[in-house]
Amino acid sequence: MSEWQERNGVSAQSIQRWQRPGREWMKVNSDGAFTEERCEGGWSAVIRDADGEFILAEVGRLQHALDALQAEAYACLAGVMMAIDQGIGRVIFETDSLILKQALENPTHRLSSSGGLICELQCLISSSFISYAINFVPRSCNRVAHALAALGCKCPHGDKLQWESTLTDVEDLVASDIAESLS
């Protein structure tokens, strides 16, 4: 247990962890990173199956980003497009951005700077999947996507990277998520 956990009365058992989706479902975790000083960031999206196994991941860099919501929405869009390309029918989208989750569930952000992107996401999600859910999760449930978004910040402009097997940089996080989801 960390010193912070002890000081704040948080036990290791109370920290939420990534959970496997049910059978016949896939999970897409996404994360955006944003640096206000440079108005840029990175994004990532990761698809995992019902066993927690790594299926596909993409990362990329954002230049001329407006805000953190735009980075989060772009990451989610990448995940949606990956799921569509993979022919996934039942999908759970997870984000550690409560604002993004709320924006995707109602029309209140249509006039925001990311409103067009939010509307595109809403249309794609509602028309492309048999069943779906959009969940807000704490960062402790989104560790793989978070680590990959940092990598996305380092990509050359205009490039995106894609992997069909677990990346060495996040192999331990994926294995840890799988093990913890069994307990």
pLDDT in tens, 151-173: 887 888 777 878 887 777 778 88
- Which of 59-68, 115-124, 129-138, 174-183 reaches the highest mean pLDDT? 129-138
Residue 19's pLDDT is: 92
Q: What is the mean pLDDT of residues 68-84?
A: 93
The answer on pLDDT for 113 being more than 90 is: no
47 with 148: CB under 8 angstroms?
Answer: no
Tokens (6 digits) for 44: 């990532």
Residue 4's pLDDT is: 47
Residue 89's pLDDT is: 97
Helix axes 143-152, 171-182, angle to 10 degrees: 170
Q: What is the mean pLDDT of residues 37-58?
A: 90
Give 141's strand partners: none
Name the percent of the chain in helix, strand, coil, to the closest 5. 45, 25, 30
What are the residue boundaries of the structural domains of the chain, listed by start?
20-176
Whole-number Å distance between alpha carbons of 24 and 78: 21
pTM for this prediction = 0.85
* Domain 20-176: CATH architecture, name and number where available: 2-Layer Sandwich (3.30)
